[in-house]
Chain A
Amino acid sequence: MYNDGRLSWFLKGVLALGYLFLYVPILSLIVYSFNASKLVTVWGGFSTRWYSSLFQNDQIISAVLLSAKIALASACAAVVLGTVAGFVLARFKRFRGSTLFAGMMTAPMVMPEVITGLSMLLLFISMQQFFGVPSERGFFTIWVGHTTLCMAYVSVVVRSRLLEIDQSLEDAAMDLGARPMKIFFKITLPLVSQAIASGFLLSITLSLDDLVTTAFLSGPGSTTLPQVIFSKVRLGLNPEINALATITVLVVGTIVIVANYLMMNAQRKRDKAIAAAMRANDADSQNSAGKPAVSLA
């Protein structure tokens, strides 16, 4: 069963069921987005009318724009704060309260979002009472909430990458005359750049589909895309939502495929170079075998 390259009919069946379960709903959603009928469950012929009505729906367009703005802003902030936090967690010697710091850093990941959202809401309300800022709930408060959540993820990704990197690289840079700041920007940052990039993408995704925290922190006039979809679905299924979802799937799918292709290409190039170096290495040792061996015996 294992290792002979073939799967038994049972395993194939389980695999097929798994894939069906994952992808049939998405497929049906795409198909029904081209449904002419207003009823989501009844096929009424092919049409793209829901796409055109989607682009005329100001509420949805402004929600998309707001979501995108928030996602971008919180991903940027999360990357900066999360990288710094990850660096401290991975590189600083144990300091007073370092365990507490590590725990608090990752708390937003494990804390139920309802609680995070609620406590932030209470914080913002009392801040408003005492200091007058933030004057209203909206872009700023959602941004702060999302950054808190995303930062935790970025710090975890960056920290684990930093732990993988040979610390003697930083020692070597210091030995060659670079000061700590320079080392961080010239050596450490380029080495964790991939982790930072994936942290950035992760943050965008997290922020784009966050509903719970957003619900607590948004105010009138600041409705994000997930909120719009959620409220629309509550009023009954709407073919426009299907069209919106199809576009989302298309955009995300394209990004994933392109990113995968680029990464695989880079990996293949690297593998080739390593294989070439290995061949050179073999040639080296063959040379040395030809020369008289230096032996102490």
Chain B
Amino acid sequence: MMEAAVKSAQAAKTTERPYLQIAGLVKKFGDNLAVDHVDLNIQQHEIFALLGSSGCGKSTLLRMLAGMERPTSGKVILDGQDVTMLAPYDRPMNMMFQSYALFPHMSVEENIAFGLVQDKLPKGEINARVMEMLDLVQLRKYAKRKPYQLSGGQQQRVALARSLAKRPKMLLLDEPLGALDKKLRQQTQLELVNTLEKVGVTCIMVTHDQEEAMTMATRIGIMSEGQLLQVGTPSEIYEYPNCRFTAEFIGETNLFPGQVVVDEPDRVEIESSQLGNRILIDHGITGPKGMEVWTSIRPEDVRLDRRPPAAGHNAAQGKVEDIAYLGSFSIYHVKLASGKVVKSTVPSSRWYEANEEPPTWGDPVFVSWRSDLPVVLTR
């Protein structure tokens, strides 16, 4: 479902020193470990998304980068400068807040100029920069308005302009589009990315919306319970999740627990009681025989047939329990003999191409998949 969002990794210049280095960052609130030894390197001009559900520590991590929370231990190095203990007002980073935090008693112009006035820039330069920012977000004719006289989308653009006005080395975005309604959000996502790329600022954004992260970011970091579980491009994270949490959090997947019974360089066989069959994978994994593993197979990789497939592996019989018809495709929920429900995404064209009636509720069907598609997870 997510391939459309695949982006070329712009962070190709990995040989350079990372622009932002986060090393062993920890934040404790009492006994509660909110951020648990996070290490992360970010290249210049990257748009990096921290993705996780609420309470996973992503916002705390962002607030530590902005200087609003003091890390319990660890280091943050930005462009060669250790900023770990720097006060927020001394950091060359700016933040765009989820609620936008526009100053209600100041006009759009004054809001954008606020940071520049704090830096005591000459008046002419402040005016020039404010105008430049207003043009960037196309709000020139709203310069004299107060924030409450603007629509949600316009407020978001003012907030962006204000956080970019000081030309920060790094922009932090806290749920940048969280306050917009869904229709407006999709349009704004690409608009925001275009603006950020035009400015060329390095960004870290925090979001709980995987679609937003995959559309906007060049790389994504998945967070859960304070830990950074996986970092990669959207396609890497979707196609090669490294743990059960990522596999289930990004998109949908079918997970089968099992034990490795055959482990050879070119094939692995996994005995899964839930599938009632062996899972065959056409490449080796490194792990001892008998190891507990989980096999993840995406619904779009699961093939649905009325007749048993030719290969004995990677297949099972079940009954159609539920069908969600979504127009161009349907999601079939197939209940196996073990009681496990397998989801399969079937394109609507599949049935008339094969000249078959689509299976309906209660029909016996077979699920199967190619042996190069499953991903074996060890944690």
Contact = CB atoms under 8 A, between A and B. Distances in A.
Q: Do A and B come from one complex?
A: yes
Interface of A: 166, 168-169, 171-179, 182, 187, 190-191, 270, 273-274, 276-278, 280-281, 284-285, 288-289, 291, 293-297
Given A274-B149, A284-B153, A288-B184, A296 B5 contact: yes
A296 B184 CA distance: 15
A175 B95 contact: yes
B259 to A, nearest CB: 36
Interface in B63-112: 66-68, 87-91, 93-95, 97-99, 101, 103-105
B218 to A, nearest CB: 16
Contact of B104 (A177, A191, A281, A297): A191
A187 B103 contact: yes
B39 interface: no
B140 interface: no
Contact of A297 (B1, B98, B103, B115): B1
Contact of A171 (B93, B97, B184, B187): B97
B325 interface: no
Ordered nearest first, which 4 A-B pairs have the shortest CB separation?
A281-B151, A176-B115, A177-B118, A172-B101
A191 B89 CA distance: 21
Given A169-B103, A289-B183, A296 B149 contact: no
Nearest to A278: B151
B166 interface: yes
Contact of B1 (A178, A270, A288, A296): A296
Interface size class of B (residues with CB under 8 A): 35 or more
Contacts of A288: 183-184, 186-187
Contacts of A190: 105
Contacts of A270: 148
B215 interface: yes
A172 B95 contact: yes
Contact of A294 (B2, B93, B95, B186): B186
B5 to A, nearest CB: 5
B4 A281 contact: no
Q: Chain A binding site: helix, strand, loop or mixed by DSSP?
A: helix
B151 A296 contact: no
B239 to A, nearest CB: 15
Given A176-B115, A274-B149, A296-B211, A171 B68 contact: yes
Contacts of A293: 186
Nearest to A292: B187
Interface in B166-180: 166
Contact of A177 (B149, B166, B186): B166
Given A171-B97, A174-B68, A178-B118, 11 more contacts: A169-B103, A171-B95, A172-B95, A174-B89, A176-B118, A177-B115, A277-B150, A288-B184, A288-B186, A289-B183, A294-B187
B183 A274 contact: no
Interface in B145-201: 146, 148-154, 162-163, 166, 181, 183-184, 186-187, 189-190
A191 B97 contact: no
Contacts of A187: 103
A4 B2 CA distance: 54
B249 interface: no
A146 to B, nearest CB: 31
A296 B4 contact: yes
Contact of A285 (B1, B114, B181): B181
Contact of B183 (A174, A273, A285): A285
A232 B192 CA distance: 74
Nearest to A281: B151
30 contacts: A168-B97, A168-B98, A169-B103, A169-B104, A171-B95, A172-B95, A172-B101, A174-B68, A174-B89, A175-B66, A175-B93, A176-B114, A176-B118, A176-B163, A177-B89, A177-B166, A178-B118, A182-B118, A273-B148, A274-B149, A277-B148, A277-B149, A277-B154, A281-B153, A285-B181, A288-B183, A294-B187, A295-B186, A296-B211, A296-B214
A179 B214 CA distance: 37
A92 to B, nearest CB: 16
Nearest to B165: A176
A276 B115 CA distance: 29
A274 B103 contact: no
